Amino acid sequence: MTRGRVGPHALAALLAAVFALCALCIFPRSARAQAGQTEAKAWLDAPTAAVDEPFALHFQVMTTGSDTPSDPQPGPLPGLTVVGTSISPSTSISIVNGVVSQRRGVSVVWTLRGSRPGSFTLGPPSVALGGRRVRGDVQSIRLVSHPGAAGTARRPPGFGGVDPFDTWKGLFGDDPLKDLVQEQETEPNLALDAARSPGAFLHATVDKPRAVVGEQVTYTVYLYVDPSDRQGEVEDKREASAPDFLRRPIVEGGRGRSLGRARVGGRIWSVHLWRQTAYFPLKAGALEIGPFAADMVKGSRHEPKESERLVVQVSEAPAAGRPARYVSGDVGRFVLSAEVAPRETSRGGTVSVTVELRGEGNLPATLPMPEGAGIEWLEPQVREKVELVQNTRIGGRRTFTYVARLGREGEVELGSVELPFFNPDSRAYEIARAALGRVHVAPGAPVADAGSEEQDKLAGLPPPVTAREPIAAAPRHLSDAAPFWSALGLGPLAYLVARAGDRARTSLRARRDRARASPERDLQEKLKRADAARRAKDGAALAGAIEATLASACNLHLKVDIRGLAGGAVTDALLEAGLPADAGRELRAVLDACHEARFAPGGLAEGDGEDLFARATALTKIIGKSARSA
């Protein structure tokens, strides 16, 4: 390395940088931008860095006002290259002597790289705030050709911040500036009811639980560290999986930045921004963002840590007011500008049309180019620059360079590019427009139509329809009426019912007939006839009826037909069938009395008839009982 003579410009810059550093170290508050209640601080993470190795320029602006800092710029960076930018919002509430004050602001980290050794002056960095720009201090750094000569990291002048490139020592308790942070100063929006695990844990959030397809959802993973739990490192293991989202990183891996302290379950924990990613949902539905995983390494022990699994409810942008040619997912705030060159050509010639799309959100990948007879748009070349455009919002610009072939001569109106999009802030559709104007096309050679080959093959397509044909109300169908299906079975059912009724009637009649011809009924009938004869005082009829009744009773209960028997044979047969002997004798006597009465000239005396009927009735019961006991 050759040392050159230090010029007056470099000397002045060096002196300014030294002054700024001294001012930061000795009079930290003198660097405040005294514009209202706004504080701006800038610092480098090291006074020396190696060539071709990245180092960081930090810039933090905090304000008590309502305006939010925006449009951060690093300022002049001669000889240095910006290789990355990280922008994060910041909020803090301080309670000092009972006075509560809230500050909000932004922290910006520019990752820089130099390609040659030497001393460099950077900045001043600035942000836009309330219509003016708030600036930090000019910084200086020395780049050396070999890494070993590079200095150690430097702490920020105030805010209690932690160097994002040397996170771990700051995380686990040996931060020399830790005590500068007041114990009372916590971030209320980072407070949690309880710790997810002891020592340290990951906590993930999204800035909105509902979004439309294409709307940015900012996903943040915080690392909470218990200050009393010392020693350890964090190793990233797995990024959150989100297959239904387009992913754009905001804060990349390995960049833990202190956000201050927060109350977790009544205790103070330090909180670090670990990941921040813009996710653009690709479809509607309940879309999941998987857990972010890391290992907490303490000595040889690895403690796996996972953040929460989150679900974002995503819907299509509202159908009401949706313009024609709106493409699902075109969500954000966009503007279009266009440039056409040249404005004159000949038939069959081409012009270049460059359309630049700028804004925030997921920049559409294609543009709906205007159509016109004799204008053919060739495939565009696309260049893009996607970046953070405001705090955590992703945006940038995408430039489409088209070649338009003009096939008709004269003044050709190219029309205008119109891109409908959904603005998530106003919840309304807007249209970005860029008029392309006219091009004068001079006469030239006839142009062959590129689509002529296809046209020939599809020449038989019908002409367009110019009148609507709304669909009439749904026709009524017989099968939609429930009674139809019932009626279908009604006839056969009626037949079955009729047949069943007929069968039931026949069965009933047969049963009645059978009941009418039974021996019991016959016995009862004969007994009734005997009783009737007794009442009519018809001795002969009574005697005959009693004989018949007793014969039926014997036949029914004892299964002995006494009509064919005579004299003692009757008694013997009944005794054999189980009738008691005295009953048998009584039966014999009654039958004899009846026999005599039937053939006696005077019949039965009145008293004899009553007596005979009573004896016969009693005998009938005895026969029945003897049969049951047998």
Partner 1 sequence: MAAVLGASSSPAADAPPSVDEEFGLGAAALAAEKPEEAIGRFEALADRGVVDAAASFDRGLAYASRFRKSPRPGDLGRAIQGFEEARSLTADPARERAASAAIVLLRSEVARRRAAAGDAPYVQPGPPAVRLVLRSLPEDAWTVLAALSSLALTAGLFVRWRASGRVRLGGAGVAASAGGLLAITALAAWAARDERLTLTEGVTVAENVRATDEGHAPIASEAPIAEGTRLEILATRDGWTEVQLPSRRAWITSAAIVPLVRPAR
* Near partner 1 by CB under 8 A: residue from 18, 25, 498, 569: 498
Return the number of the residue (298 or 322) whose C-beta is nearest partner 1: 322
Please report whether residue 483 would count as binding partner 1 according to CB under 8 A. Answer: no
Closest approach, Cβ 250 to partner 1, in A, equals: 24
- Tally the residues of the chain: 630
Q: For 94-141, what is the HEC assignment?
A: EEECCEEEEEEEEEEEEEEEECCCEEEEECCCEEEECCEEEECCCEEE
- Give me the half-sphere count of Cα atoms (radius 13 Å) on the Cβ side of residue 606: 2
Which two tokens mark 330?
């075109």
Return the number of the residue (120 or 334) whose C-beta is nearest partner 1: 334
* Near partner 1 by CB under 8 A: residue from 196, 429, 538, 578: 429
Please report whether residue 339 would count as binding partner 1 according to CB under 8 A. Answer: yes
Is the Cα dihedral 58, 59, 62, 68 positive or negative? negative
Return the number of the residue (201 or 334) whose C-beta is nearest partner 1: 334
Return the number of the residue (265 or 342) whose C-beta is nearest partner 1: 342
Return the number of the residue (184 or 352) whose C-beta is nearest partner 1: 352
User: Exposed, middle or buried: residue 533 (CB in 10 Å: 0-12, 13-18, 19+)?
Assistant: buried
* Near partner 1 by CB under 8 A: residue from 253, 489, 519, 568: 489
Closest approach, Cβ 130 to partner 1, in A, equals: 24
Q: Rounded CA gap, 112 and 42, in Å?
A: 14
- Which value, to the nearest 10 degrees, does the dihedral of the CA atoms of residues 324, 325, 330, 331 take? -10
Closest approach, Cβ 358 to partner 1, in A, equals: 8
Closest approach, Cβ 368 to partner 1, in A, equals: 6
Site for partner 1 in 65-124 (CB under 8 A): none
> Which three-class secondary structure state does DSSP give residue 417?
strand
* Near partner 1 by CB under 8 A: residue from 477, 512, 514, 628: 477
* Residue 571 host element (H or E): helix 568-576
Site for partner 1 in 524-553 (CB under 8 A): none
- The residue type of 218 is T
Return the number of the residue (222 or 400) whose C-beta is nearest partner 1: 400
Please report whether residue 436 would count as binding partner 1 according to CB under 8 A. Answer: yes
* DSSP single-letter state for residue 536: T
Please report whether residue 501 would count as binding partner 1 according to CB under 8 A. Answer: no
Q: Are 240 and 307 in contact (CB under 8 A)?
A: yes
* Near partner 1 by CB under 8 A: residue from 77, 227, 326, 399: 326
Phi, psi of 380 (to 5 degrees): -85, 160
Please report whether residue 411 would count as binding partner 1 according to CB under 8 A. Answer: no
- The residue type of 313 is Q
Q: Rounded CA gap, 547 and 630, in Å?
A: 23
Please report whether residue 246 would count as binding partner 1 according to CB under 8 A. Answer: no
* Near partner 1 by CB under 8 A: residue from 250, 338, 546, 590: 338
How many other C-beta atoms are found inside a 10 Å radius of the C-beta of residue 489? 10
Closest approach, Cβ 30 to partner 1, in A, equals: 43
- The residue type of 134 is V
Site for partner 1 in 443-472 (CB under 8 A): 450-451, 454-455, 457-458, 460-462, 464-472
* DSSP single-letter state for residue 419: E
Q: Rounded CA gap, 258 and 268, in Å?
A: 14
Q: Rounded CA gap, 254 and 258, in Å?
A: 13
Q: Rounded CA gap, 584 and 560, in Å?
A: 12
Site for partner 1 in 305-324 (CB under 8 A): 319-324
Closest approach, Cβ 356 to partner 1, in A, equals: 8
Which two tokens mark 188?
């209320």
Q: Are 138 and 17 in contact (CB under 8 A)?
A: yes
Please report whether residue 488 would count as binding partner 1 according to CB under 8 A. Answer: yes
Please report whether residue 482 would count as binding partner 1 according to CB under 8 A. Answer: no
Total number of residues binding partner 1 (CB under 8 A)? 78
Return the number of the residue (76 or 323) whose C-beta is nearest partner 1: 323
- The residue type of 616 is A
Return the number of the residue (19 or 484) whose C-beta is nearest partner 1: 484
Nearest to 22 by CA among 34, 11, 14: 14
Please report whether residue 333 would count as binding partner 1 according to CB under 8 A. Answer: yes
Closest approach, Cβ 408 to partner 1, in A, equals: 12
Site for partner 1 in 200-219 (CB under 8 A): none
- Give me the half-sphere count of Cα atoms (radius 13 Å) on the Cβ side of residue 344: 2
Nearest to 35 by CA among 158, 132, 168: 132
Which two tokens mark 28?
């930290």
Site for partner 1 in 369-408 (CB under 8 A): 369, 371-373, 376-377
CA distances from 547 to 348, 562, 598 (A): 138, 10, 10
Return the number of the residue (2 or 466) whose C-beta is nearest partner 1: 466
Q: Looking at 76-84, 392-400, 486-494, 576-584, which segment touches partner 1 (CB under 8 A)?
A: 486-494
Closest approach, Cβ 383 to partner 1, in A, equals: 17
β-pair partners for 352? 341, 403
Return the number of the residue (254 or 451) whose C-beta is nearest partner 1: 451
Site for partner 1 in 116-175 (CB under 8 A): none
* Near partner 1 by CB under 8 A: residue from 278, 287, 432, 587: 432
Site for partner 1 in 16-45 (CB under 8 A): none
Return the number of the residue (268 or 336) whose C-beta is nearest partner 1: 336
252-291 footprint of partner 1 as x/- string (CB under 8 A):
-------------------------------x--------
